[in-house]
Amino acid sequence: MSAPTAILNADLHCHSQVSDGTLTPEQLAARAAANGVELWALTDHDEVGGLHRARDAAAVAGLNYLTGAEISVTFAGITVHIVGLGFDIDDRALHEGLRRTRGGREERARDMAAGLAQVGIQGAFEGALQYVGNPELISRTHFARHLVATGVCADTSEVFRRFLTEGKPGFVPFKWATLRDAVRWIVDAGGMAVIAHPGRYAFTPTEEYALFTEFIAHGGQGVEVVTGSHTTADYVKYAEMAKEFDLYASRGSDFHSPDESHTDLGALPFLPGQLKPVWEVLEGRILRPH
Ligand code: AMP
Ligand code: MN
Ligand code: MN
Ligand code: MN
């Protein structure tokens, strides 16, 4: 028998300037390679606009490459992220679905700025825009960078805590894609859908069970077990959930920026050896550098 395939430095979750990261796809590929990543995917929020560059940069950097995206979904009133991997970059229905999911971000951002103005923070929309690399993808992260740069908060996590989460002045409730649509777009484009960082959602156990069950019913097959936003206890819990629900396990840093992310590209524990890794199924979708 061959060595367990779970032992691979795969990083299948990170962000570029095409969404809310600060590096270019080329800089990310070079950094991943320098950090010893063996299989890489760029997963910008609701956007595949960086993937041709990422694919070419992966080839230059000598990385095995999978296409990727992280789709914003609303499930049981909570925002959930679904990562798609290994889909066809040019799939039209996926492009259209993502375009619709991105739509409304500008209006949401104007409403966020209005909420911040009410607590005395003026000009936040224009301020956030200065950090935006993709005009269709203004996000809370860009507001956070602006409020740190202007000295309102010491770091981005303080901005989220004080201003950008449920019930705070800059928070605007928003309806993203449905779980069903997001999974369908990915699967119909030949890819695998993966529940991103399940440890981050404020679900009751019943709601979490419903998320996993419905995700699988729609054709979802994977779950992130080892990610930058999971604790060691989360690794154990979601390894068990992966086994219980017979899901493939994924691994990704969720790297956004050298200045903000505490988990660098590829700098994660390996997947627990007894899990089936997503790359086992995605074998035929991996682009190899030569
Ligand atoms: P949005 O899609 O505009 O709602 O922004 C979501 C993004 O905000 C996530 O992808 C993270 O990059 C970032 N984010 C969410 N919560 C936090 C937090 N507590 N601290 C820092 N960044 C966060
Ligand atoms: Mn993000
Ligand atoms: Mn996410
Ligand atoms: Mn992410």
Q: Residues 164-219: pLDDT tens digits?
A: 999 999 999 999 999 999 999 999 999 999 999 999 999 999 999 999 999 999 99
pLDDT of residue 3: 53
* Ligand 1 lined by 176 (C-beta under 6 Å): no
Q: Is the pTM of this model over 0.75?
A: yes
175-187 burial: b if 16+ Cβ within 10 Å, else e: ebbebbbbbbbbb
Residues with CB under 5 A from ligand 2 (ion): 20
* Ligand 1 lined by 276 (C-beta under 6 Å): no
Query: pLDDT, tens digit, for every residue of 114-136?
Result: 999 999 999 999 999 999 999 99
Q: Enumerate residue ranges in the chain where pLDDT < 50.
A: 1-2
> Which DSSP letter does residue 17 get?
T
* Ligand 1 lined by 44 (C-beta under 6 Å): no
- What is the C-alpha separation between 93 and 2, in angstroms, rounded? 38
pLDDT of residue 43: 99
Residue owning tokens 């979904």: 73
Atom of ligand 1 nearest to the CA of 174: 4
Atom of ligand 1 nearest to the CA of 260: 21
- What is the C-alpha separation between 195 and 90, in angstroms, rounded? 22
64 neighbors 286 (Cβ within 8 angstroms):
yes
DSSP run (H or E) holding 251: strand 248-252
